[in-house]
Structure 1
Amino acid sequence: MSVAIIGLPYDASSSFLRGAARAPQHIRDALHSPSGNPWSESLRDVLDPQWVRDVGDLVLAPDASARVEIERGISALLDLPARPLALGGDHSVTYPVLRAVNQRYSRPAILHIDAHADLYDAFEGDRYSHACPFARIMEEGLASRLVQVGIRTLTPHQRAQADRFGVEVIDMRAWAAGVRPVIDEPVYISVDLDGLDPAYAPGVSHWEPGGLTTREVLTMIQQCAGHVVGADVVELNPHRDESGRTAMVAAKIVKELVCAMYPASS
């Protein structure tokens, strides 16, 4: 089974700033940049068309119809069959992606790397905001476990939501104390780039100091023992990434995700 990279250029569910809809091409540009090479740290050429393909971007309207199109597009990849690696876009795209993934892989665990829990029941009156996808995912029973790493913005409401859904929250205080995720079942990995400290990834809409390093995120992906059935990298905002630094970080994460989804034994 191959890995399929797909762009989800959607940011109509963003709060504060728009711009993430422009991210997929910026990540691709970094991935193909002659300043680096396509090899992962485990000596895989992630641009080798024999086992990874880029199927381009979905055409998405800035309204609720995008969720339908995302679910349909990811379902089509799974039917190839291919494991989807989605380039967002804002974090709201993860919900329809998981609806599609569940059609082939029932209730995978989720490893969610983020500064924010994204568990609001509704945010600014929108139940499908990028601040809400994991509330929708857990309500629908689309995951057997939700393990969140890097969290540092919990509100009382989101803490109550985490308790309600049995979310395993490894906030940055717990991370600093040495707590690490242990996942050995089928898993979907969702990486919000603001999970990293803004010193490493400033090109995001919501700067939240005190986060993960690039190396910590890469190691987490590399050491994930579960069978990775899909993944996404979301919330790059090119308007805030004038140097292209965050796009390069995103591309590096994509390389390691591809290898996690297509291990050397495959």
Structure 2
Amino acid sequence: MPAIRLFGLPTDVNSSFERGAAAGPAAIRAALRSERGNLASELGPEIGVDIAFADDGDLPLSEDTARDDAAIRRHVTMLQEDGEVPLALGGDHAVTFPLVEAAATCFGPVNILHFDAHPDLYDDFGGNPRSHASPFARICEAGHAGRLVQVGIRTLNRHCREQAERFGVEIVPMAGFTPGAVPVLEGPLYISIDLDGIDPAQAPGVAHPEPGGLTVREVLAVLHKQTAPIVGADIVEHHPGRDVGGVTAILGAKLVRELAALIDRNGPYPN
């Protein structure tokens, strides 16, 4: 089974409204290590016991996006060349672009399962083409996505709708949502979880809360039905300054456990 390597990406330089997501990795990591809970997943295995799991700490990022992108690509490429699976903690959602770029360089275009309130498909946002509102536009135009399925979207404006049509994005609407409406994707599979995809009643610690979102149980149901080998994953956009009682950090830690167990269960993708 593949070894899983956790690492943090403490940057929010590309946040469009309010910075604070740079503190997300530390908060999620603290919740993961807290004696409040344990390291077992709902799939059964425990990380670090039944699952090969290591924490690389945070990458030393800067306010220079190009330099940070290069550092992220180097780290992910190193892990993937060693047969390990990167599991990243953001940071804002802009970090997903270099993460997916590195995966696609190693495996070819990846299929992406993306949980979010927002499609993040802006050609640019506020004049910034590397905004956290734009990573999937960059990913799609570079040809890194074989298939992009977005779950939890509930703020689709005209521009992003046009972008989705342009790139052939598959959006599973929240209206009438059931986990069964989400397809089971083939590998190589990449999973990106923006915590604001979950309803703010269950995940208040985000900069862009949007009512009417996914429940934690719905997210887990969608994750657990995926059977393809996973080549990378991220959990992004936790803003500890907006959290209530640490519940969003605790959720982030739970998702680390569930993603690790899923990566382990689904096995390695053949190079």
Give the structure 2 partner of residue 121 of structure 1: 123
The structure-2 alpha-carbon separation of the partners of 1:40 and 1:49, relative to structure 1 and needing over 3 Å to count, comes to: closer
Distance in 1, matches of 2:230 and 2:42, equals 17
Distance in 2, matches of 1:230 and 1:161, equals 24
Of the three residues 72, 75, 78, the one matched with 1:73 is 75
Distance in 2, matches of 1:46 and 1:199, equals 28
Q: Which runs of 5+ in 1 are unaligned?
A: none
Of the three residues 189, 192, 202, the one matched with 1:190 is 192
TM-score, length-normalised on structure 1? 0.96
- How many percent identity over aligned positions? 49
Residue type of the partner of 2:64?
A: D
TM-score, length-normalised on structure 2? 0.94
Distance in 1, matches of 2:150 and 2:129, equals 20
1:222 is the counterpart of 2:224: yes
Deviation at 1:264, TM superposition (A): 7.3
Deviation at 1:242, TM superposition (A): 4.1
Distance in 2, matches of 1:49 and 1:125, equals 46
Instruction: Point out the more displaced range, 188-197 or 64-73.
Output: 64-73
Distance in 2, matches of 1:115 and 1:150, equals 5
The structure-2 alpha-carbon separation of the partners of 1:101 and 1:46, relative to structure 1 and needing over 3 Å to count, comes to: same
Residue type of the partner of 2:112?
A: I
Deviation at 1:181, TM superposition (A): 2.6
Residue type of the partner of 2:36?
A: S
Runs of 4 or more, structure 1, over 4 Å off, are none
Give the structure 1 partner of residue 133 of structure 2: 131
1:157 is the counterpart of 2:159: yes
Give the structure 1 partner of residue 235 of structure 2: 233
CA contact (8 A) 2:51 2:260 kept: no
Give the structure 2 partner of residue 145 of structure 1: 147
Residue type of the partner of 1:60?
A: L
Distance in 1, matches of 2:253 and 2:193, equals 12
1:1-266 alignment, distance < 5 Å? 1-48=2-49, 51-64=52-65, 65-175=67-177, 179-263=181-265
Distance in 2, matches of 1:182 and 1:258, equals 18
Q: Which runs of 5+ in 2 are unaligned?
A: none
Distance in 1, matches of 2:179 and 2:163, equals 24
Tell me how large the CA RMSD over aligned residues is: 1.6
The structure-2 alpha-carbon separation of the partners of 1:80 and 1:176, relative to structure 1 and needing over 3 Å to count, comes to: closer
Residue type of the partner of 1:127?
A: P
**Total equivalences in the alignment:** 266
